[in-house]
Amino acid sequence: MRGTCGVPSIRILVAEPARVEIEVVGDPRPQGSKTAWYNQKTQRVVMLDGKGPGRKLFVEWRKAVKAAAKAAYIGRPLNGPVTVDLTFRLERPKTVDRDYPSIAPDLDKLTRAVFDSLTGVVFVDDALVVGLVARKLYAENQPVGVTIIVKEVR
């Protein structure tokens, strides 16, 4: 495309902010408290996420979230402010008739597990999250899991 005087004209295109949608099917697991212990052999403190039988399920959940994020987002992790929308779908126990899952797992711990899984894949650090909408619902006609929407703020 040529402008006046035969000089190429320049069009500046504004890139759309990044928007990443991730769907993870599986039983959402919360990020529990950290457990620390001192390793006398290495003379260092070792930190683990949680303990007990739930740890294995939590580790598998984090792997599933990370794998889904890698499949949904190709490119360098975002290095600027982002907003995140999380919808967790939990299984309704057969004897429960309440409308919302207002019991464990805690929403903040579910969120923390997802954020840690997205760090280094979708965004550089979860400190870049400047806006968050998170909810827990019963999975009525959908599989249990989480829907994640990350939007770059410009």
> pLDDT (tens digit, 9 = 90+) per residue, 51-94?
566 778 889 999 999 999 999 998 899 999 999 999 999 999 99
Q: Is 9 inside any structural domain?
A: no
Report d(CA 32, CA 92) in Å as an integer.
Answer: 22
Mean pLDDT in each 10-residue stretch from start to end of the chain (154 residues)? 49 64 94 74 74 77 95 93 98 93 95 96 97 97 95 93
Q: pTM of the full predicted structure?
A: 0.81
Task: Count how many domains the chain has.
Answer: 1
Query: Which pLDDT does position 154 carry in this prediction?
Result: 86
Per-residue model confidence (pLDDT) at position 18: 87
Asked if residue 8 is part of any domain, the answer here is no
Q: Is 140 exposed, middle or buried (0-12, 13-18, 19+ CB in 10 A)?
A: exposed
CA distance 126 to 119: 6
Tokens of 128: 């870049």
pLDDT at residue 24, rounded to an integer: 95
Indicate left, alpha or beta for 5 from its phi (over 0: left) and psi (-120 to 50: alpha).
Answer: left
**Mean pLDDT in the chain?**
86
Asked if residue 144 is part of any domain, the answer here is yes
Q: What pLDDT score does 9 carry?
A: 45
Range of the domain at 40: 15-152
Helix or strand holding residue 145 (H, E): strand 145-152
Helix (H) or strand (E) holding 68: helix 54-72
Residue 136 in any domain: the answer is yes
Please tell me the distance from the alpha carbon of residue 29 to that of residue 117, in angstroms, as a whole number: 12
Residue 60, domain member (yes or no): yes
Residue 13: its pLDDT value, please?
Answer: 46
Residue 114: closest CA among 71, 64, 57, 50: 64
Q: Is 114 a member of any domain? A: yes
103 within some domain: yes
E strands within 5-144? 19-25, 34-39, 44-49, 82-90, 129-138
Residue 50 has what DSSP assignment?
A: -
Would you state the pLDDT for residue 49? 59
For residue 58, tell me if it sits in a domain. Answer: yes
